[in-house]
Structure 1
Amino acid sequence: MQDTQENRRLWLLATPGLLFFLIFFLIPVSALFLISFDKSSTGIVDIRWMFDLGNYERFFSRAIYYEAALRSVGLAMLVSIIALFLGYPLAFLIAKTTDPARNTFLMILVLSAMQLDMVIRLFGLMVLMGDKGLINQAAAWAGWTDGTPIPLMYNFFGVVVGLVQFTLPFMILSLVGVIQGIHPSLEEAARSLGASRWKAFWKVTVPMSMPGILSGMLLVFALAISSYVVPTLMGGWKVVVLPIHIFQQISELAKWQFGATVAVIMFLISIAAMLVYQRSASRLAGGRI
């Protein structure tokens, strides 16, 4: 009886969140899914229950669209890996810093990058990496270039830098709590058995922090594959990814049906990536995930 009352209380506590998730996520996504099966018509948003596969055939029959899908996946995977390699050492340093003042200072540095709007942060990167930016001006002053600017923006490299700068704090925050939860005695036990500090780190700390690695990479992947602003500003419309196609189809051409099709495909790609990450991380962590 007591367990039943406790379960009811838990469900009551979760009800507002579940309703919000239902109304503002499941219903809109389901509507997009249904719209994607309607025939493409300019300016029509209503669900017409046609169940036509023409939009999906168009997507996979034209190279510009499925190449954008492959580019989006490759870009998100690359950004996830770079963010992990850059973020893990920083998260490890924050987690192992026992002095409260230093720990707070490091956390403020990480969180400060999230306080500014993303567009403002990207404009700052444009000042740094543009053809007339600080990096190119410094390179020209030092005589490293012959006057021709280094192409740091409006290409794939610029988009990667922008996405890593945007997603790195999320990776760090995903890792800090997990690393802090690893008891120091585990690494000390490994070292007492003859393992070096480096080997103990790879055999104990890294596998034990796999849940944080998984969640961080999933979060970074989702943010990177769905980003529209970063490829637009840092790529200059030259690095065409799925969100750009969605924007063009819906906002510029008013083709809601085909835009919804691209959105559904991107959503399915993200779900598939989650399953792959889950299986891979579970094997690497020895089934603890």
Structure 2
Amino acid sequence: MTLASQTLPPQSSARHHRHMKSLLVVPLTIFFVIFFVVPVGLLFASSLNPQTLGQVAVTSELTLDNYIRFFSRSSYLMAAGRSVLLATIVSMVTLVIAYPMAFVIAKTENATRNTVLLILVLAAMQLDMVIRIYGMMVILGDNGLVNQMLVALGLTSPDAPVQLMYNFLGVVLGLVQFSMPFMILTLVGVIRGINPSLEEAARSLGASRRRTFVRVTLPSSMPGILSGSLLVFALSISSYIVPALMGGFRVGVLPIHIYQQVAEGARFQFGATIAVVLFLISAGAVAVYLKVGARNSGGLA
């Protein structure tokens, strides 16, 4: 106990501790308000301003013309659906690939082997995203290593390479490679936190390793599955670099449209409108995902 808590009455001491705990969140609250709440608020306000070419400042004149334009054009609605579909597919593929690796890392008791596996996971995060994507372009391009190998095996011809880039598949592969470490690290912590006695009890009651995994380990790791999937979904639906490089601007997702409106057309108000729609779609999808995940894991909806 501190000297202050020894001299204060019990009720005053409890209030003092609650006051001190509340002070700990003040820096984060200030940072959150300045760098998230204020920018998002300005983004919403700008989306309600009339379209003025090259104007960035928020005005008091309000209109819904930008939203009417967005929802009246099929190209933007298709881009919104494509963004959600892309993020969903990437989340599912990343989870399927990352879970075995996370399980091995979490269950490995040898310290040296565990360190090596973690280094392999973390090594991918040490390089800049653009460098990693360019590395994938060398592998997956029309004249890349994969197509060269297929030509050498006689499975394809140099004149008709397998299209692994500048399409939806290329964007999926790029986003899976980018988000894999985040999913693995999220799952490792949760799997390690599963009480080993639960698995031992299932085995002692006659359950096989496979049944123990399906009935005990997998449900117990649901919080990590949900958290990792949400993280990957958020990273994928808002990604611009991967669709730009691996998709070659041919995969029309919402971040690409935002870039085109703001950087190429100087239509800041309509770009803000697309950004608001992207924000609302992401927030809505996350809310639905959380509710469904809470029900499936036995939590409160």
Q: Does 1:110 align with 2:121?
A: yes
Q: Does 1:132 align with 2:122?
A: no
Question: How far, CA to CA, are the matches of 1:288 and 1:117 in structure 2?
Answer: 40
Matches within 5 A, 1:15-94: 15-94=26-105
Q: Which moved more, 1:91-100 or 1:273-282?
A: 273-282
List alignment gaps of at least 5 residues for structure 2: 1-11
Question: How far, CA to CA, are the matches of 1:125 and 1:63 in structure 2?
Answer: 32
Question: How far, CA to CA, are the matches of 1:57 and 1:284 in structure 2?
Answer: 37
Structure 1 residue 49: Cα displacement: 2.3
Partner residue, 1:260: 272
Structure 1 SS opposite 2:125:
coil
Partner residue, 2:5: none
Q: Which moved more, 1:274-283 or 1:27-36?
A: 274-283
Letter in structure 1 aligned against 2:214: W
Structure 1 residue 194: Cα displacement: 2.6
Question: How far, CA to CA, are the matches of 2:203 and 2:49 in structure 1?
Answer: 63
Per the normalisation by structure 1, the TM-score is 0.98
Larger radius of gyration: 2
Q: Which moved more, 1:33-42 or 1:143-152?
A: 143-152
Structure 1 residue 195: Cα displacement: 2.0
Of the three residues 224, 238, 241, the one matched with 1:212 is 224
Partner residue, 2:6: none
Partner residue, 1:4: 15
Question: How far, CA to CA, are the matches of 2:150 and 2:48 in structure 1?
Answer: 53
Partner residue, 1:177: 189
List alignment gaps of at least 5 residues for structure 1: none
Partner residue, 2:162: 150
Question: How far, CA to CA, are the matches of 1:96 and 1:250 in structure 2?
Answer: 48
Per the normalisation by structure 2, the TM-score is 0.94
Question: How far, CA to CA, are the matches of 1:272 and 1:190 in structure 2?
Answer: 38
Q: Which moved more, 1:123-132 or 1:183-192?
A: 183-192
Write the deviation string for residues 96-150 of structure 1: whole angstroms up to 9, x where unpaired.
0011111111111000000000000000000000011111111112211122211
Runs of 4+ in 1 over 4 A off after TM superposition: none
Question: How far, CA to CA, are the matches of 1:249 and 1:24 in structure 2?
Answer: 23
Structure 1 residue 72: Cα displacement: 0.2
Contact 1:37–1:49 (8 Å) recurs in 2: no
Structure 1 residue 288: Cα displacement: 6.6
Measured on the aligned residues, the alpha-carbon RMSD in Å equals 1.1
Structure 1 residue 155: Cα displacement: 0.6
Contact 1:91–1:175 (8 Å) recurs in 2: yes
Of the three residues 143, 160, 171, the one matched with 2:172 is 160
Letter in structure 2 aligned against 1:52: T
Q: Does 1:236 align with 2:252?
A: no
Partner residue, 2:233: 221
Identity score, percent? 57
Partner residue, 1:196: 208
Structure 2 SS opposite 1:44:
coil
Structure 1 residue 235: Cα displacement: 0.5
Question: How far, CA to CA, are the matches of 1:175 and 1:84 in structure 2?
Answer: 9
Structure 2 SS opposite 1:114:
helix
How many residues of Structure 1 are paired with residues of Structure 2 in the alignment?
289
Q: Does 1:119 align with 2:124?
A: no
